Amino acid sequence: MMKIDKRYLTFSELQEKWGISLDQIHYLIQEETLVPAIAWNGYVRSFTWTINDKGESFLSLNTYETKMLINGWLFLRLPVPNGNCNYKFSYLSNSLDTKRQNILNEDWYRLLDDYNEVAKVILNRDYIELHAVFMKEVIRDVELSHFGIDSDFEHVNKIQKLDTNHIPYTTDLLELQNLAINQFFSPRKIQDAKSEEVCEWIKNKGKELNLNVSTNVADAIFTIIKPYNHNPKIKRVKP
């Protein structure tokens, strides 16, 4: 039997691969850990990240292009939470650097209704679950950065399942990691903390908990928990 090496997985395929619920997948999307993609054949408006003299960043409309046609994959970005594991998207980008280097170099868009150049399309959870997929490179990046597992695309059983029906597994360092997440990234601050600040906090918190946390361990925890678009030089502005 021939096997197709797909470049993406659907919701149901990712749910089976990771062994987690749909709500848990939607939670990862809402938290900007997992970035979905949609195939779009229609009109968009083009936006650019702009930085003002205060160092604040915001998306501004490219006035020279009122409307353009896009046919291809776009990544859904900047989810707006709308309740528990629920959200909506207004913005999309043409690429996704899994090394999370610089979102300012990407092209950003808003979808438009074909019949109304003014109306923007809002993508909610139901639409995304029906139409979105997860690209291979995004899945592998989440497995490495969020779950801490360097696995092949085909490996299913290595990921620690997020099954809340069972007694949770934990260690001292895992609890320290969760404390750091709650301190700096959940909820997400308007401006991200610097890596040095986070690592220093992790080491000091470790001392409070009678843990010997080295600089290398603190750096590793920060690498695991930092958001994909972590950038302390810019202020995040809600769309």
- 71 and 133 in a single domain? The answer is yes
Mean of the pLDDT values across residues 183-201? 88
In a domain, residue 160? The reply is: no
- 177 and 71 in a single domain? The answer is no
In a domain, residue 153? The reply is: no
Supply the pLDDT for residue 82: 82
In a domain, residue 3? The reply is: no
pLDDT in tens, 201-230: 999 999 988 888 888 889 888 888 888 788
Supply the pLDDT for residue 104: 61
Whether the pTM exceeds 0.75: the reply is no
Q: For residue 150, what pLDDT band results from cuts at 50, 70 and 90? A: low
Supply the pLDDT for residue 118: 53
pLDDT at 167 exceeding the cut of 70: no
Supply the pLDDT for residue 29: 92
Residues 6+ apart with CB under 8 A from 89: 76, 77, 78, 79, 80, 122, 123, 128
d(CA 189, CA 58): 15
Supply the pLDDT for residue 13: 93
Supply the pLDDT for residue 102: 57
